[in-house]
Structure 1
């Protein structure tokens, strides 16, 4: 298990998305609000190393924000990376 302690995974949570012209984005200042294409009760997308791996809900933990995982997404064997360094 010590080997796993040295592996870093980049976790990203996407709340939603929006499109706008660059000039509008550049005019935004501190406190500006960007409307997203989701409702507040919809699941967020959780990515590990830019691969969608789960869905979740935003939760408040005191003064902190967290994510409660609601669904772990399984990937089909066809899109899983193949090992090239020998047998398991």
Structure 2
């Protein structure tokens, strides 16, 4: 391997290592709904909002507000978790970054 190629390869590795340490926000979305403002104002403690997803339907997993996977809600030591059941391809994830 030539010195120039080796230097470029090392630089690329450093760049990738730098990117891998960037924190991202992960959100699990159970569902959505729309309300009229007058109905939103009437909401109080104990009110129930009906969401657009059915029981047992996969939830959306978003990273920085971009859909990257689907999952199912699980309970782990009395805490909610999400088991990934479908993930979009790396190509699609990269395309969403543009």
CA contact (8 A) 2:70 2:84 kept: yes
Which is richer in helix? 2
TM-score between both structures, scaled by the size of structure 1: 0.78
Match of 1:17 in 2: 32
User: 1:24-43 to 2 correspondence within 5 Å?
Assistant: 24-43=39-58
Q: Which runs of 5+ in 2 are unaligned?
A: 1-15
Structure 1 residue runs of 4 or more that deviate by more than 6 Å after TM superposition? none
Which shifted more, 51-60 or 18-27? 18-27
* Cα distance, 1:35 vs structure 2: 0.4
Q: How does 1:1-88 map to 2 (within 5 A)?
A: 3=18, 4-5=20-21, 7-74=22-89, 75=92, 79-81=95-97
Q: Tell me how far apart the structure 2 counterparts of residues 55 and 76 of structure 1 sit (CA, whole Å).
A: 13
From the superposition, tell whether residues 69 and 26 of structure 1 become closer, same or farther in structure 2 (CA, over 3 Å). same
CA RMSD of aligned residues (A): 2.1
The structure that has the greater radius of gyration is: 2
- Taking a change above 3 Å as real, the CA distance of residues 2 and 17 of structure 1, as seen in their structure-2 partners, is same
Q: Do the aligned partners of residues 76 and 8 (structure 1) sit closer, same or farther apart at CA in structure 2, a change above 3 Å counting?
A: closer
